[in-house]
Amino acid sequence: MKENECKPRIDYPCLWIYKVIGRDPEGLRCAIAEVMKGSGHTVTPSRSSTAGSYHCLNVELTVESEPVRVGIYERLRRHPAVIMVM
């Protein structure tokens, strides 16, 4: 199977949603604000674990290209307040 057959086609610009997971919702909001640096985005609560140990926020924005999309993902993923990005 060729590499391009496995990868979904994404037409840019497009609306994209990142799910950002961490232990502290305010820490997550600060991490998102730091990474997004005022660019147009919306943050909405998603889910929290039953015990309240983990929280998920949705970050929705329009991404202009794959390098931009991947760059945002990587910056979010590397932030100390973030456990996981999907």
pLDDT score for 2 = 58
Q: Spell out the residues 6+ positions from residue 20 whose beta carbon is closer than 8 angstroms to its own.
A: 28, 31, 32, 56, 57, 58, 59, 76, 82, 84, 85
pLDDT score for 68 = 96
Tokens 């993923």 belong to residue: 77
Count other Cβ atoms within 10 Å, centred on residue 86: 10
Determine the Cα–Cα distance for residues 27 and 48; give it in Å rounded to an integer.
14
Flag whether pLDDT at 3 surpasses 60. no
Q: Helices then strands (H, E): number in the chain?
A: 3, 4
Predicted TM-score of the model (pTM): 0.87
Q: Which of 1-10, 37-46, 75-84 has the highest mean predicted lDDT (pLDDT)?
A: 75-84
pLDDT score for 73 = 98
4 confidence band (pLDDT: 50, 70, 90): low
Q: What is the DSSP letter of 81?
A: T
Q: What is the average per-residue pLDDT within 10-28? A: 97
